[in-house]
Structure formats: C-alpha cells, structure tokens
Structure 1
Amino acid sequence: MTSTTDVLSQNVVVFSKNYLPMNRVNIKRAIALLVTGRAEPLDASDRTSGWMVRSPSVALRVPECIRLTVAGHERIWKVPPANRREILRRDNHTCQYCGSTKKLTIDHVIPRAQGGSHTWDNVVVACSRCNAFKGNRTPEEARMPLRTKPKAPLHPVVSFAEQFWRNHPT
C-alpha cells in the first residue's frame, strides 16, 4: 500500500494541447488542473497506472501523464546572450580541447582577429593552457579538435521533450 506522503511526492508529465511533453508538475498541481478542467488524463484506458487520491467526498485517479485542454499563451523565449556563465554551463565546466576542469577561460573557435564573432556557435570553454597554445589560430590550424560542436541552447520545452523521449522509448 502506498502512503500519503509517497503519493504526494509523485510527479506527473504534462503534455501540451498538441501532445508535446512540456514539463513535470507535482501531483497537487496535476489534481488542480484535472479538477478545473484545464487538463485531461492521457492514459485513461489504463486503470492500473497513476495514483488513487481520496478526499472525504471524492476519489480521483491521477494518471502519470496529463494533456492540457487549453492552449495557453506560449511565453516568448529568446536565446540568452552568450556570456561566460551560460557558456560554462553549456560546456559542463570542461575544456573543449583537453577535458580539463581547471583554470577555465572562454575561447573563440574562429579568432576575432580572423573575423570570428562572440556568438554561441563560435565560443567554447578552454583551459588557459589550451587557449594559449591555440592562440590566434583555428582548431584545424592548431591541430586541436573540439570535443563537441558549439551551439546555442535549445528552447526549454524542446530540451525537455528530447530528454523525455530519450528516457521513455515508445
């Protein structure tokens, strides 16, 4: 038997009206969305999945996945500026040339002296040793291949959806 605290600590996956996985919410929020009619259960045919929540007057089965029935206004999301903190986060605080996590700096893949810009696609984390060795050259010229190709961060909903489908194969 599942205790009350176990049930209340569960998460429910929320899908958009277009069936795009958006995020996870706690079970209390899921109940509020279901009761107010702003969401519907996605796995209604499967009576064994989910959790049974009872109050003195109502028994409600809360499924593992719900779908919003209202199309909310999507928040406008802009790609954040390519600043040091965000670049370090994207590259997991690791030098993209040697893998070191000490004395980290920001390196322009195509040096600014050669016309490179300070954009997500052109900046990576590099340790001071690799950055000094690479100097004003491209990785190809310095024979220093990148571990990962630099790219701008994804929209949070897209990122969550990719992670969701990777963890929940069909």
Structure 2
Amino acid sequence: MKTLVLNASYEPLGVVSTRRAILLVLSGKASTVAASGALLHSRSVVMDAPSVVLLNQYIKVPRRRIPLTRKSALERYGHVCAYCGKYGDTLDHVVPRARGGTHSWDNVVVACFRCNNHKSDSLLAELGWKLPFELREPDLDMASLISLRWNEPQWDEYTTPWRRHQLQLAG
C-alpha cells in the first residue's frame, strides 16, 4: 500500500510506503488527512492505514529540471506522434542534429516510426509540416507526476492543481 505525502502547504511531495507514513504519524511529524479504510493492528493499537498524510512542518523543496530522456519525453507527450497524432515511440529532433539541432526540450518531440523515417534529416518547412504545439521545457509539477504514475481516486483532490490552490487559501 502507498500513501501520498503533502507538505504543510498541501503541496504533494511524493508517495511513500504505508509503513513509512505510519512512522511519520506516530512520531508526530505528520497527521493523517485521509484514511484508506484498511485497519492495521499491533499488539496495543488498532489504527486506520493513512492514504494521505500532511507534514506538520513545511519542507523547502529545491526545484529541479526534468532531464531529457526517452522515457521522460514519451511520458510528457503521452506516446503521441507530434506529426500525425498516432501512437509514437521514437524521439525526433525537429531541427536534425546533422543540421546543428540540439538534444534539448525545445528541439525534441515524439514521433511514430513512419513519420520519423519520412522526415529523416529534413526540416519541417521543407516538408510543409508544422507542429501543433510550441516546444518548451516541461515544468516540474509533482502533482502531475503523481497523478500520472498512480491512479488513486482518493488522491485526486490533493493532486489536482486548482483544488490544491483552494486548500492553501482555506488553510
């Protein structure tokens, strides 16, 4: 079982094992916000297993950049070809590296095998193609990453950005 950990500002920090979450609650470092419904028994205590815990003290989290890897690009673009909209599983440099293009977020898209081979070392203008979106480095949003990796309906109200903002204003 997994537990969502929220910073004191209700910002999602990550996902930990339920055992780790219980240790945080029992040591007074966090409080349970939502229970999973599963009962945990020890020799002297019976408690609900936490599904979401809130840290009692704010933790400053340094903002990092997302490295450009095949896996991160495929996750970001949802395995959708930038050129035809079908399933894509290869990376394509919009400005080919052979023509001075860089391996960076503002030059890499996901493409299907067919489009990638057809484009080859050509520029988009030479083929008459256009991208349906603007290329830019993705924002590191922990809430989005958590909702992509774990499909937990109980966590939706904490990982949805507008809901998280409302909770911050209310709290």
Scaled by the length of structure 2, what TM-score is found? 0.62
Q: Which moved more, 1:88-97 or 1:65-74?
A: 88-97
User: CA, structure 1 residues 143+49, in 2 after alignment: closer, same or farther (shift >3 Å)?
Assistant: same
- 1:105-120 aligned at under 5 Å gives the runs 105-108=91-94, 110=95, 117-120=102-105
2:129 aligned with 1:144? yes
Question: 1:29 is paired with a residue of what secondary structure?
Answer: helix
Distance 1:33 1:152, change over 3 A: same
Distance 1:52 1:167 in 2: 22
The one of 56, 68, 74 aligned to 2:61: 74
CA gap 1:148/1:133 in 2 versus in 1, 3 angstroms: same
Which structure dedicates a bigger proportion of its chain to helix?
2
Equivalent residues in 2 for 1:13-162, closer than 5 Å: 13-43=4-34, 50-75=37-62, 77-80=64-67, 82-84=68-70, 86-98=72-84, 99=86, 101=88, 104-108=90-94, 110=95, 117-127=102-112, 129-131=114-116, 133-134=118-119, 135-138=121-124, 142-146=127-131, 149-155=134-140, 157-160=142-145
Report sequence identity in percent.
31
After superposition, the Cα gap between the structure-2 partners of 1:39 and 1:115, relative to the gap in structure 1 and judged at 3 Å, is: same
d(CA) in 2 for partners of 1:145, 1:92? 19
Aligned-residue CA RMSD (Å) = 3.8
Q: Do the aligned partners of residues 78 and 49 (structure 1) sit closer, same or farther apart at CA in structure 2, a change above 3 Å counting?
A: closer
Post-superposition CA distance 1:44-82 (Å, at most 9, x none): xxxx864432222123334432101133352552331x3
- CA gap of 1:127–1:70, structure 2 versus 1, over 3 A, is same
Evaluate the alpha carbon distance shift between residue 167 and residue 59 of structure 1 in structure 2; reply closer, same or farther with a 3 A threshold.
closer
Asked which structure has the greater CA Rg, the reply is 1
Q: Which amino acid aligns with 2:142?
A: V
Aligned pair count? 153
**Corresponding residue of 1:5:** none
Q: Whole-Å Cα distance in 2 between the matches of residues 160 and 90 of structure 1?
A: 10
Show structure 2 runs of 5+ residues with no match: 164-171
**8 Å contact kept, 2:18–2:50:** no
Instruction: Read off the aligned partner of 1:69 and give its amino acid letter.
Output: N
Q: CA deviation at 1:106?
A: 2.1
Stretches of structure 1 that go unaligned for 5 or more consecutive residues are 1-8
Letter in structure 1 aligned against 2:115: C
